[in-house]
Amino acid sequence: MSSYQPSISEADLSVFERNTEDTFECVIHPVTLLDVSEDLHGFSILESFAKDRKSVIKTRFRGEDSEEIILKLLQLLERRNLVTEEARKEARSKLLGAENSSLVEQGAFSWDASCGKTLGYWTHSVQGPSFIVGYASLDNIQVGQTVISLVQLTEPVNLGSLNGSLTEFVGLVLTGSGTGMVYSAPETAKSVASLLADAEFREESFNCPTDDDLRIAIHRFVERQSARKEQREENAVKPLNQQMHHESNDATLNQTIGIMNEKIYASSNSVHRRYHLLGYWTSVMFLYPFVLVIADLKRRLPHYLSDFVFEINQRRAQQKYLFASIFLIFTATLPAIVFGYIVERTTHGQIGVIECLFSQGVLGLGFALFSGQPLMVNMITGPTVVYIQVLMRWSDKLGFEFLPFYAWTGIWMGIFLILSGCLNTAALIPYLGRFTDEIFQTFIGFIFIQYWFTELIRITH
């Protein structure tokens, strides 16, 4: 990830007095988060935090609103002697502003739904999907001192995020009032937001039980950004036929292709490193069979069990499992019934609704157990129906029994898939754009339109 989502907003809600105490000026503007690989200041900030044992605090607890979470976090910082009692009180007053409960009850505020009634609003924060980073400059903190803390909530809650999302991570940045602009609270908060905007870092921090583990995760984040910058610079100066790195939106695919490229590069001497594109793809497909499959197995096996049992004893997770299961019953069953009816008419009853439901269930169980992706939903779709129709016509013209013909088609498809994994053809995926998918969808759409017109003509005549 070389750039971050520009949709993240910084909210600077300044409270000032005019005619009443309940007049607010709200200034909200988008923030482009730091690309740590390009921004030297952001790099140095995160690198120094990764090394400072007193600056980064990671904790996890339950919170119902912003007030409760901030108070718990500030009390924790005070117990660890990272802030004084005076600094704690000052931080509380600068981070959150309290609403007038009587005005809220009378309906004087039209925006209480997003900020939470009488629970306080964020006066200074950087907000993004699933996270809020509050920041403040305090008179009771020494100049040059910075305290950063991250809270992972046991259950996502509505903390008044301006984008309406539930908040799972809360960051807190406290600096001294005289701190320079580069290391000021707003700039440091943007660096922390850059961390939380990275999905890979969020996943790592989720499994960090201690502060030391969190610092290691920050260090890994910085290393990843630096490595990506170096790779971009390398690719920028290489001719097309010498490029060995292929960018994709799939980070997993990029990682496995990178492993394979390292093997190819290490095995080639300096004379043969300037090979042409044909030589590269020959090496990809024939020198290292199954290298991408093996890399995928090594990466996924340590997480295999956790994919099934992670947080299974948590009430929030159990509710998600229940509602997702109910939703999928209808999502997966209804298409199987509809397409099963079409297939039954096409195959003259040799494959019907029952067979479609049964095969879909067996496929779902097998895929969840052996693919390493238990959340993927497999079901019969339009292309499958079209494929069955084509096979039925071929079997009629060639004089074959349909079911054996269909079975051997599936066997050969399995053989081709194994061969595809052996030849590392997943390396070609970055070259397939939306055009390939949309042309195929258009083809399927025309086939179904033709099918329904045919049925309409058959019924009317």
Co-location of 173 and 77 in the same domain: yes
Q: CA torsion 154→157→163→164, rounded to 10°?
A: 140
**Among the listed residues 412, 384, 58, the one whose alpha carbon sits nearest the alpha carbon of residue 216:** 58
Give the C-alpha separation, 386 to 373, whole Å. 27
Token representation of residue 188 = 């440091």
In a domain, 383, yes or no: yes
In a domain, 354, yes or no: yes
pLDDT per 10-residue tile (average), the chain, 461 residues: 37 38 58 59 68 67 79 84 84 70 36 38 81 86 79 80 79 81 78 82 76 78 76 55 44 52 50 53 78 83 80 79 86 89 91 93 87 76 87 92 94 94 83 78 82 82 73
Co-location of 188 and 318 in the same domain: no
72 — phi, psi (to 5°)?
Answer: -60, -40
In a domain, 277, yes or no: no
**Pair 87, 140: CB distance under 8 Å:** yes
Co-location of 217 and 319 in the same domain: no
Co-location of 214 and 315 in the same domain: no
- Whether the full predicted model's pTM is greater than 0.75, yes or no, is no
Given 3-state DSSP classes, what are the helix, strand and coil percentages for the chain, each rounded to the nearest 5?
55, 15, 30
**Pair 28, 9: CB distance under 8 Å:** yes
Q: Which of 188, 221, 254 is where one domain is finished? A: 221
pLDDT 10s digits, 7-56? 334 443 333 333 344 555 666 666 666 565 555 556 667 777 777 666 66
In a domain, 270, yes or no: no
Q: What is the pLDDT, as a whole number, of residue 16? A: 34
In a domain, 262, yes or no: no
Q: What is the pLDDT, as a whole number, of residue 408? A: 95
Q: How many domains does the chain have?
A: 2
**Among the listed residues 444, 337, 338, the one whose alpha carbon sits nearest the alpha carbon of residue 383:** 444
Instruction: Supply the DSSP string of 335-376, one letter for each residue.
Output: HHHHHHHHHHHHTTTSS-HHHHHHHHHHHHHHHHHHSS-TT-
Co-location of 325 and 207 in the same domain: no
In a domain, 272, yes or no: no
Whole domain around residue 346: which residue ranges? 309-460
Q: Which of 179, 205, 221 is where one domain is finished? A: 221
**Among the listed residues 134, 143, 147, the one whose alpha carbon sits nearest the alpha carbon of residue 176:** 143
Q: What is the pLDDT, as a whole number, of residue 113? A: 33
Q: What is the pLDDT, as a whole number, of residue 250? A: 47
Q: Which of 193, 221, 249 is where one domain is finished? A: 221
Co-location of 210 and 313 in the same domain: no
Question: Distance of CA 168 to CAs 49, 153, 289, Å?
Answer: 22, 5, 42
Question: What CATH number did the domain enclosing 13 receive?
Answer: 3.40.930.10
Co-location of 210 and 337 in the same domain: no
Co-location of 32 and 177 in the same domain: yes
In a domain, 395, yes or no: yes
**Pair 56, 49: CB distance under 8 Å:** yes
